[in-house]
Amino acid sequence: MIQIIRGVYGHYVTDKKSGKIFVVARDKNSDPFELTPEQEARLVSQGVARYVDDAEAGAAPIGFDEQPPEEEEPMEELSAKELRERGKEYGLSFKVGMTKAEMIEALRGEWPQEGETDGAPTFDAAEAVQ
């Protein structure tokens, strides 16, 4: 189960009674919802969603959205192979040719802080319906 924390996400929902399919827009004010594990992991790894527990009792989020724990050995001292292995643990994959500095930046998860924007446009889903 995830909750959107940045931007707007639209997904298909099938009405159980009529069988009609429609799009539901979710944003940070929406209730938590479920998708396939792959879809949830993708949204969390992109920083637009966070995992929530089933009871939503205020428990800490779990999964890929957690920051890596403090390292005993500085990441700068790890080899590229070790950085790739560490990335797999957090659901990241690195493109061929990425520098160690780029891998370390991705591992540290330097996402925009609350109040900052990542340049992505925002819109109200109701505006698209005419």
Q: Over the stretch 8-23, which tens digit does the pLDDT of each residue have?
A: 888 888 888 888 888 8
pLDDT at 31: 85
Per DSSP, 47 falls in state T
Q: Is 31 exposed, middle or buried (0-12, 13-18, 19+ CB in 10 A)?
A: exposed
pLDDT at 113: 38
Instruction: Report domain extents, the chain.
Output: 1-66, 68-110
pLDDT at 78: 87
Q: Over the stretch 41-90, which tens digit does the pLDDT of each residue have?
A: 999 998 889 888 765 535 555 555 556 555 557 888 888 888 888 888 87
Per DSSP, 44 falls in state H
Question: Could you tell me the sign of the dihedral formed by the alpha carbons of 118, 124, 125, 130, in that order?
Answer: negative
Backbone angles phi and psi of 114, in degrees to 5: -60, 135
- Determine the average pLDDT of the residues in 101-128: 65
State how far Cα 44 lies from the chain centre.
2
